[in-house]
Amino acid sequence: MSTDVDWSLLPYRAKEFFGLPKEFDRKTLKRAYNKLIRQYKPEKFPDEFKKIRAAFEMLEDELRYGKSSISPVSSFQEYVWQPPEESKASAASVQTAPRKAAIERLKSESPAAIYRDFKSQSNRSPYDFFVLATLSDIVTEDPTLYFKWLLTGLQEHPNDPGLVSLIQHFFHQDLDENFLRSALMTTSKVITSDRFYFVTEKGWQRLLRISEFAPFKSTLARCESNLKDHRNDNQIVFYAELLKAAIWRADPAWVQEKFALLEGNAGRLGPRLEYELEVLDHLSAYQATSSEFTRGCPTRTALHQAIVDYYSLDEQEGDAKVIECQNQLGTDAQALIQTFDDDEELAGSSFMLLWFAINEDVSQRHGFKTNAKFRSRKHKQDYMKRLYSLIEDLDETWHLSTRHVLTYYALVCGSYLLMIVTPFILLASWLSIGGVMAACVVLAVLGVIANKVWIFPRTIKPRFDRHIDKTIRKSYQEHWRGRFVQFFEATGSNMNQLVRVMAHMMTDDDNFRGATTWLPEMLHNDMGLLIYSMSVPYRR
């Protein structure tokens, strides 16, 4: 373990461990968490990662559910239990003797003997139930007894913070589907307050992943029917998180019902749910059009599945799926950008906003440098020099490709002028009459004016503009796009940085003209190239 991390602060002093201020928000917490897991990656430091993740989830729960829903202790080891005769009178009184006695007895007695002794007691304290739960894993072959003893203890000592904390952590485990469903049902008969949602949230998330939705929905409804609390703050927080995964599997009527529940109650919780509700709005908008988005295209389908996996699986698995997708996207840049050739409306869509958010989360957790900040002044100068050279080349390519267009329309304009003037000149020459000649000249002048005022702006210019636009787009797709793919690969920069620097460069330099002045706008609307540029850091 690294010496610059004080592991002794966990699990009780998580704020100090992450270096957080007294008041912190989700963004500050995630920044501190991401910094640590970039150092302690799960594949290399699984034990350290689990500790960091547990501390993060505890503080995140505090932000989402509010401090009133969180157990006053973060771990059994910090909790000191009261004597049996005082268990109902005061949850704050303490006694250290029972714990010491149980621990010291292990030096001279077998776990089975201690288990039988505690089991035979008639007036058991919360601590006694913890001992029974712990020893049951050692002296029996029934893996369900640990949970049953904890829940039995909570029945006798309602709302005991130590037992509630242990049950809440129990649902973090990868439990068997049938046992998990049974445990959730039993818990709902013991914890009948709104706090049920906080205690069992991780269990519901796992059940949703491993179960068909119909039995999941039925189990959840039966559990909720056992609750007797008029308050529903925890329920709102619970569904705001659960819907991110359930929206892909649930029937539309159920999703609509839960969205209505959120919309009718979320305002009471203030800013605590702003982020979750914003994500849900985009997920709902995207999910409604996802079949139209994918269009049976393998590339689009891969992107869609990465989004589904990110919000449906646990963090490690979801991140892995996104990283895998990003690596696949970069294997064939041409196929990727052509997939989005005719989809400029994708800019600002729910899909893009979700993909941006996912990319930011995953890249920050795993250390992919998607912001591409300049490391030094020399780095910035080299970047600017490379970009300037690229735009110069593209500018020259544009002028070469448009010469034939300008020549063509010069001939067209001349032809129109000749068609108007020539008949009058010929007529005047044939009649050889001065008055008629003067009249023809006047008519010819009127024809030139008509050409300038009506024929050219309404007929020639629109065709010219369409031709120029078509030429620019063709040149962009056939020549410029590939150059920008190479530029991203060489520099590792992202689209936002490129467009910003390019726009500034062109504003300060009069040498660039013509279609290259349209490049920032064209790049900004090129969703295929944008998605490709986001995948580059994952392969560097």
| pLDDT value of residue 332 | 85
Indicate whether 371 belongs to any domain: no
pLDDT band at 130 (very low <50, low <70, confident <90, very high): very high
| pLDDT value of residue 174 | 92
Indicate whether 75 belongs to any domain: no
Report the number of distinct structural domains present in the chain: 3
Over the stretch 246-305, which tens digit does the pLDDT of each residue have? 999 999 999 999 999 999 987 887 777 888 899 999 999 999 999 999 988 999 999 999
| pLDDT value of residue 513 | 57
Range 122-135 average pLDDT? 92
Length of the chain in terms of residues written: 540
Type of residue at 287? Q
| Same-domain status, 53 and 142 | no
| pLDDT value of residue 504 | 78
| Same-domain status, 18 and 96 | no
CA contacts within 13 A on the Cβ side of 106: 11
Per-residue b/e over 431-445, b at no fewer than 16 CB within 10 Å? Answer: eeeeeebeebeebbe
Please state, in angstroms and rounded to a whole number, the distance separating the CA atoms of residues 58 and 360. Answer: 22
Find all residues with CB under 8 Å of 165, minimum gap 6, and list them.
71, 73, 74, 75, 76, 79
Indicate whether 361 belongs to any domain: no
| Same-domain status, 20 and 110 | no
DSSP string, 272-285: GGHHHHHHHHHHHH
| pLDDT value of residue 83 | 44
Over the stretch 297-333, which tens digit does the pLDDT of each residue have? 999 999 999 999 999 999 999 999 999 999 999 888 8
CATH number at 60 reads 1.10.287
| Same-domain status, 102 and 229 | yes
pLDDT band at 384 (very low <50, low <70, confident <90, very high): confident
Over the stretch 28-73, which tens digit does the pLDDT of each residue have? 999 999 999 999 998 899 999 999 999 999 899 888 888 655 554 4
Over the stretch 470-495, which tens digit does the pLDDT of each residue have? 766 777 777 788 888 999 988 888 88
Place of tokens 């005769």: 85
The tokens of 59 are what?
Answer: 């503080």
The tokens of 72 are what?
Answer: 């006053």
Indicate whether 25 belongs to any domain: yes
| pLDDT value of residue 286 | 96
By C-alpha distance, which of 461, 468, 478, 520 is closest to 495? 520
Range of the domain at 14: 7-65
Indicate whether 146 belongs to any domain: yes
Greater confidence, 344 or 386?
386
Over the stretch 142-159, which tens digit does the pLDDT of each residue have? 989 999 999 999 999 998
Question: Quick one: residue 270, left, alpha or beta (phi over 0 = left, psi -120 to 50 = alpha)?
Answer: left
Over the stretch 403-418, which tens digit does the pLDDT of each residue have? 555 555 555 555 555 5
| Cβ proximity of 82 and 91 under 8 Å | yes
DSSP string, 9-56: GTTTTHHHHHT--SS--HHHHHHHHHHHHHHS-TTT-HHHHHHHHHHH
Please state, in angstroms and rounded to a whole number, the distance separating the CA atoms of residues 126 and 12. Answer: 20
Q: Per-residue pLDDT for 362 more than 90?
A: yes
Among 91-100, 170-179, 380-389, 440-449, the minimum mean pLDDT is found in 91-100
Please state, in angstroms and rounded to a whole number, the distance separating the CA atoms of residues 437 and 442. Answer: 9
Q: Per-residue pLDDT for 515 more than 60?
A: no
Please state, in angstroms and rounded to a whole number, the distance separating the CA atoms of residues 510 and 183. Answer: 72
| pLDDT value of residue 423 | 59
Indicate whether 338 belongs to any domain: no
| Same-domain status, 433 and 495 | yes
**Mean pLDDT highest for which of 230-244, 378-392, 510-524?**
230-244
**Counting Cβ atoms within 10 Å, is residue 182 exposed (0-12), middle (13-18) or buried (19+)?**
middle
pLDDT band at 245 (very low <50, low <70, confident <90, very high): very high
Please state, in angstroms and rounded to a whole number, the distance separating the CA atoms of residues 361 and 353. Answer: 12
Please state, in angstroms and rounded to a whole number, the distance separating the CA atoms of residues 328 and 302. Answer: 9
Please state, in angstroms and rounded to a whole number, the distance separating the CA atoms of residues 78 and 11. Answer: 9
The three-state DSSP-derived secondary structure of 284-353 is HHHHHHHHHHHCCCHHHHHHHHHHHHHHHCCHHHHHHHHHHHHHHHCCCHHHHHHHCCCCHHHCCCHHHH
**Domain end (from 243, 263, 297):** 243
Contacts 24+ apart (CB under 8 A), 433-437: none
- Mean pLDDT score of the chain: 82
| pLDDT value of residue 381 | 86
Range 341-346 average pLDDT? 70
By C-alpha distance, which of 496, 529, 521, 491 is closest to 390? 491
| Same-domain status, 96 and 27 | no
Please state, in angstroms and rounded to a whole number, the distance separating the CA atoms of residues 157 and 125. Answer: 8
The proportion of the chain whose per-residue pLDDT surpasses 90, expressed as a percent, equals: 45
Please state, in angstroms and rounded to a whole number, the distance separating the CA atoms of residues 51 and 177. Answer: 25
Indicate whether 29 belongs to any domain: yes
pLDDT band at 178 (very low <50, low <70, confident <90, very high): very high
Q: How many C-beta neighbours within 10 Å does residue 178 have?
A: 9
pLDDT band at 442 (very low <50, low <70, confident <90, very high): low
Chain centroid to CA 29? 16
| Same-domain status, 127 and 51 | no
Indicate whether 358 belongs to any domain: no
| pLDDT value of residue 535 | 92
| Same-domain status, 413 and 518 | yes
Please state, in angstroms and rounded to a whole number, the distance separating the CA atoms of residues 31 and 37. Answer: 10
SS3 437: helix
pLDDT band at 394 (very low <50, low <70, confident <90, very high): confident
Place of tokens 């020893």: 135
pLDDT band at 509 (very low <50, low <70, confident <90, very high): low
Range 523-533 average pLDDT? 87
Range 460-475 average pLDDT? 65
**Domain end (from 243, 264, 286):** 243
| Same-domain status, 143 and 220 | yes
| Same-domain status, 41 and 175 | no
Q: How many C-beta neighbours within 10 Å does residue 476 have?
A: 21
Please state, in angstroms and rounded to a whole number, the distance separating the CA atoms of residues 107 and 113. Answer: 12
**Mean pLDDT highest for which of 123-127, 321-325, 330-334, 517-521?**
321-325
SS3 79: coil
Q: How many C-beta neighbours within 10 Å does residue 222 have?
A: 13
pLDDT band at 86 (very low <50, low <70, confident <90, very high): very low
The proportion of the chain whose per-residue pLDDT surpasses 70, expressed as a percent, equals: 75
Q: Per-residue pLDDT for 78 more than 70?
A: no
| pLDDT value of residue 489 | 87
